[in-house]
Amino acid sequence: MLDFRENLHLLNVSGYFVEEEDLLYEVVIFLCALVGFNAAMQAQVMDAINDVAPRALDSIKVKAFHKMREGNPDWFKSRFELLDRRFGFANLACRLKDPNFLREVMLAGGAVKVFERCPVAAKKAIAIDPPLAMQLARDENVRQKVVCHNTTPPALLRQLARDEDWHVRERVAGNASTPPAALEQLAGDEINSVRQGVAENTNTPIKVLEQFARDENRMIREGA
């Protein structure tokens, strides 16, 4: 296997990589995307660049993200897991704390990982950007992550109170930001855990709680 560290180091000593992030970026795109190196060789390329130009690597990864995604967003999203293992886009978005890049990574297929790795930043992102929350909620793999946060827009919670997945409805029922009208609707849900969430929610209307006080399910009666 080629020793990229040695070769890149020689180029760096020769002055090629001094303040030349664009050149390093082209190296990454060419070797990792166009040539089709396997995962081990791609990892070696990234490690080698980190050795010779560590400050440039984050910027290079951001450029690589935009370059690969802009051509075919659907292709990029379908392969995000693989690309993230090679480039660490989700970790990078969490570390850089750039709200715009964080948003783009979440929309590109990295939302679940962002919620797991930097939940505070993810919650803030959907709180200040309701359209982002709406878009993320369209993905069934992300929906449960979105609805379990109190920063989720009430309009989205009203919509997801009718979701086919009872796990989603359960989280809506337990969300402190869910509007009373949506909770009243969920009070008639066939799933006990959903109704229990409604019984324990501080936004639930009094008339619903009075109804639950006579419920046949003990957990729901106690929750009310």
Q: Structure tokens of 65?
A: 């993200």
pLDDT in tens, 79-105: 999 889 888 999 999 999 899 999 999
Q: What is the mean pLDDT of the chain?
A: 82
CA distance 73 to 9: 34
How many residues can be counted in the chain?
Answer: 224
For residue 212, what pLDDT is reported?
87
More confident residue, 130 or 46: 130
Return the closest-CA partner of residue 154 out of 183, 116, 122, 119. 183
Per-domain residue ranges for the chain? 1-71
The yes-or-no verdict on residue 159 having pLDDT over 50 is yes
Express as a percent the part of the chain with pLDDT over 90: 47
For residue 160, what pLDDT is reported?
94
Return the closest-CA partner of residue 179 out of 209, 147, 155. 155
**How far does Cα 135 stand from its chain's mean position?**
11
For residue 8, what pLDDT is reported?
46
Return the closest-CA partner of residue 54 out of 24, 94, 15. 24
The structure's pTM equals: 0.71
pLDDT in tens, 4-32: 444 444 444 334 444 455 555 555 555 55
205: left (phi over 0), alpha (psi -120 to 50) or beta: beta
Q: Structure tokens of 97?
A: 């704390």
Task: Give, in order, the Cα–Cα distances in Å from 40 to each of 32, 37, 72, 121.
Answer: 11, 8, 25, 31
